[in-house]
Structures are given as C-alpha cells and as structure tokens.
Amino acid sequence: MDLIAQAAIKLERAGYAIALTGAGISTDSNIPDYRGPHGVWTLDPKAEERAYEAYRVFVQDPKRYWSQGYGKHILLEQFMQARPNRGHEALARLEGEGYVKATITQNIDGLHRKAGTRNLIEYHGNAQRLRCLGCGSRYDLFDEELPTCKKCGSIMKSDIVNFGEPIPPDVLRESVEEVMSCDLMIICGTSAVVYPFASLPSLLKERKGSNSFIIEINLSPTQLTKDGITDLFIQGATSEVLTDLCRSLSIIF
C-alpha cells in the first residue's frame, strides 16, 4: 500500500484530526521565505533588523511604531494579492468534509482564510489584521495613521507576533486544547524548529503516546522525522500530496 493510501485510511479512522502548517504550504503561492538564497532578509538585511526591533519599538513608543512603518509587514502587499494554492484548498476541503477539525498555522499570509478554512488558529498572527494588547480584540486592517481599539481605546499593533513578543494567551490556550483533543496530526510544510509552535507535535506524543498518529508532509526529513515523532513521512510538495490525499478520499475540487 502506498503512503498516500495509508494516510487516507488513518484519516478516515481518526476520531479528531488537526493540521499544523508552515511556510512550505505557501511556496506554491509564490510567497518568498526570509533566510533562503533569495529570501527577504537575505536581500535586505535592514528589513531583518527592523523585524527584530518592532516589538520593542511598539512597547516603548506606539506612535513611532506606526509613523516609522514598523506596523506594516514588508510583504503585506504581496500577501494581499496572493491566492491560495491547491494545498490550502485541499485542507479547506478536508475540513469541509469533516476529516480535519482544525488547522494551526505558523503563517501570517492569511491564505488559509482565503481558501475557506473556518476553524483556524494563526499561531504567529496575521499581517492583514490588527490586535489590541489591552483587551485582545482583533480587527481587519483599517486606514488610520494611529489605529485604536474600538472596544477599549488602546493603540493597536499589527497582529503579527514579533520577535520577543509572547504568543497571545488565547492562541496558546486554543492550540493546546486542539492538540489535546486530537488523535491524528497532519504536519504540512514546516521544519518545526521555531518554538513554542514546534513543541506541539511532541506535546501530543508525550500526552497520548501510542493513542496518537502523526503524518508529516515535507520536501525533506526534519528533526521530527529523525527523532521518531513522525509516524508516517510523505516526501513531496504539500500542495501535490494534499491534493492526492483528497483524491484518495474521493474529494474532488
């Protein structure tokens, strides 16, 4: 039996399956990486410096954060114009057909939302949204030089979780709840090296052990594969593998 068929059987038999996604699922939507040969920060080191400064600047001077452009991600326009690829669409269909109950993503590009995924946790935020650090409210971007929360009046920051910024408490709580509810996890296009997101697969194995199953879809093996956290490794592009998985489950789109 081939690997796709094995994954399909596991998904059909799962009581509660969730997906974890990373940058690899957005590659086919022409979203560049950051540190690769043609990465955003490789080509523009100053942009990386600003990314590391952003949260400190907001805490010290929210007005400066907005007036000097820290609140606008360097790829914002590209995110807004990008379209979901077959990988995003496949996960949305798997959710719509009841196979996948939730998706937790590292990505800030908003493509899972565009594809129609409903039960979505954006672990590192969304570049096209705003978040209030006072009351936790979130809004789609709106055109104000100094955006303030409509509920409590605090100056808001970009919803992106910047370097040095803690993961929002509601995101942490909801992510752990989903992991503790699941018995099958599909990991799509993430090397799982950025913490605390990278701890979610290990958390599942520590709490549920043999009563859980992890399917990993990546272009190459990761530490999860090498450490035996992954139970079934499928090598390939996420958009292609997820499309094949849908076909194996007789989901056509």
**Entry pTM:** 0.95
User: Which residues form the catalytic set?
Assistant: 124
Cis, bond preceding 166 (omega within 30 deg of 0):
no
CB 171 within 8 A of CB 193: no
Burial 124-158 (b: 16+ CB within 10 A, else e): bbbbbbbbbbeeeebeebeeeeebebeeeeebbbb
> Can you tell me the distance from the alpha carbon of 9 to that of 249, in angstroms, rounded to the nearest whole number?
9
Q: Which fold has domain 1-31+84-125+167-253?
A: Rossmann fold (3.40.50)
Sequence spans of domains, the chain = 1-31+84-125+167-253, 32-74+126-159
CATH number of 32-74+126-159: 3.30.1600.10
The secondary structure element, H or E, covering residue 55 is helix 45-60
| 44 Cβ neighbours under 8 A, 6+ residues apart | 74
Can you give the pLDDT of all 253 residues of the chain as single tens digits?
699 999 999 999 999 999 999 999 998 999 987 776 777 888 888 889 999 999 999 999 999 999 999 999 999 999 999 999 999 999 999 999 999 999 999 999 999 999 999 999 999 999 999 999 999 999 999 989 999 999 999 999 999 999 999 999 999 999 999 999 999 999 999 988 889 999 999 999 999 988 999 999 999 999 999 999 999 999 999 999 999 999 999 998 7
> Would the CATH topology of 1-31+84-125+167-253 be identical to that of 32-74+126-159?
no
